[in-house]
């Protein structure tokens, strides 16, 4: 007798005939599975600020990367592979955006649905990963940023199981079963609810963080500086904290350099040394580069042709000297 949980998601919109731009507009109506990792702070590529700007329609325009393009192109082939591995199951595709029946802002774009005679419906998510990311999938592991995505879809649909079908490095196929984690789902729901209602709906941008993704986003949002502005006085604490951390970093860097030099002195003329289970290397290396000064002197025309100008914004904070105006 089946104990499968009943599928309860509702269809927000059918996407079969939508343009990419129209699809993006409908995604702004709530929080989707790909948003969860960013909201939780575990995404390598997106931050809460990214998600917020996307939901209010002010995110900088993104071009599909080569990795994303090939992931899309390979998706049907990986789905076919999964179906061939499991002939006892039916694998279906329905091009819709689902929403939770009570929390209609909780959205899901499922790659495929699994129909099992004994377990009922399950979710199939299809992923591709480069060879450089293989370790994230080794030993049955699933990257956290994908794991929370599937748990979110289980919440939206009411289902209790699913699979990842993953192609790694273009030639290594892996499958990973995932069961519903009610405790994690409740945590995700609290985070997503708070983000949607306390940031997006009221137009309150979440704070930026120290991730590389935030740095890249700020550079894209504000590529060129203009004029000057007054920073609110309440931000002085953040500026002082910035300087405190810079001072601590300088001390740490000095300490690290001290120990590195001590170890170098122990190695002396030796390239490799061992200490217990540590292998220490101070290797012979060489690097070939262009001597720009000599090139400029010998062939100034070629030097000028090879010059390349790049534009960027340099960040600095300088404490102004206080003066008494008398």
113: which strand partners? 92, 123
User: Does the structure show a pLDDT above 60 at 4?
Assistant: no
pLDDT value at residue 151 = 97
Q: Are residues 59 and 144 in the same domain?
A: yes
Q: Are residues 36 and 130 in the same domain?
A: yes
* Residue 249, domain extent: 234-281
- What one-character DSSP code corresponds to residue 110? -
Q: Does 83 reside within a domain?
A: yes
Exposure of 252 in the CB half-sphere (CA atoms within 13 A): 6
Q: Does 194 reside within a domain?
A: yes
Distance CA 20, CA 260 (A): 53
Q: Does 290 reside within a domain?
A: no
Q: Are residues 185 and 244 in the same domain?
A: no
Q: Does 173 reside within a domain?
A: yes
C-alpha distance from residue 251 to each of 256, 257, 258 (Å): 9, 10, 11
Report H helices in the chain.
20-27, 33-40, 48-55, 66-85, 144-157, 182-195, 212-221, 236-267, 292-298, 300-306
Number of structural domains (the chain) is 2
Q: Are residues 48 and 156 in the same domain?
A: yes
pLDDT tens digit string along 109-118? 999 999 999 9
pLDDT value at residue 324 = 53
pLDDT value at residue 1 = 38
pLDDT tens digit string along 141-167? 999 999 999 999 999 999 999 999 999
Q: Are residues 14 and 103 in the same domain?
A: yes
Q: Does 149 reside within a domain?
A: yes
Q: Does 293 reside within a domain?
A: no
User: Does the structure show a pLDDT above 60 at 174?
Assistant: yes
Percent of the chain with pLDDT over 70: 95
pLDDT tens digit string along 177-215? 999 999 999 999 999 999 999 999 999 999 888 878 778
Q: Are residues 83 and 166 in the same domain?
A: yes
Q: Are residues 207 and 130 in the same domain?
A: yes
Q: Are residues 195 and 242 in the same domain?
A: no
Q: Are residues 132 and 267 in the same domain?
A: no
Distance CA 213, CA 49 (A): 10
Q: Are residues 132 and 270 in the same domain?
A: no
Distance CA 74, CA 185 (A): 29
Distance CA 27, CA 196 (A): 13
């Amino acid at each position: 007798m089946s104990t499968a949980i009943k599928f309860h998601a509702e269809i927000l919109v059918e996407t079969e005939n939508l343009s990419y731009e129209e699809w993006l507009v409908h995604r702004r109506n709530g929080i989707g599975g790909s948003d969860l990792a960013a909201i939780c702070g575990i995404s390598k590529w997106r931050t809460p600020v990214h998600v917020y700007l996307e939901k209010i329609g002010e995110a900088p325009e993104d071009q599909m990367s080569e990795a994303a393009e090939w992931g899309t192109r390979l998706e049907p082939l990986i789905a076919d592979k999964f179906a061939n591995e499991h002939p006892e199951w039916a694998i279906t595709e329905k091009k819709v955006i689902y929403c939770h029946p009570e929390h209609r802002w909780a959205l899901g774009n499922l790659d495929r649905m699994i129909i099992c005679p004994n377990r009922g419906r399950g979710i199939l998510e299809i992923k591709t990963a480069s060879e450089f990311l293989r370790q994230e999938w080794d030993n049955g592991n699933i990257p956290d940023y994908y794991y929370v995505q599937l748990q979110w879809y289980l919440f939206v649909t009411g289902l209790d199981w699913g699979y990842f079908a993953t192609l790694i490095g273009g030639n290594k196929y892996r499958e990973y079963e995932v069961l519903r984690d009610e405790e994690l789902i409740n945590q995700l729901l609290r985070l997503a609810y708070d983000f949607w209602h306390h940031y997006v709906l009221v137009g309150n941008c979440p704070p930026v963080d120290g991730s590389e993704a935030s740095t890249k986003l700020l550079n894209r949002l504000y590529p060129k500086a203009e004029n000057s502005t007054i920073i609110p006085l309440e931000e002085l604490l953040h500026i002082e904290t910035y300087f405190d951390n810079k001072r601590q970093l300088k001390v740490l860097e000095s300490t690290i350099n001290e120990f590195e030099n001590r170890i170098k002195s122990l190695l002396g003329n030796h390239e490799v040394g061992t200490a217990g289970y540590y292998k220490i290397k101070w290797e012979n290396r060489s690097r070939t580069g262009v001597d720009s000064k000599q090139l400029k002197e010998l062939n100034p025309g070629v030097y000028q042709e090879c010059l390349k100008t790049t534009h960027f914004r340099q960040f600095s904070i300088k404490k102004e000297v206080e003066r008494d105006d008398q």
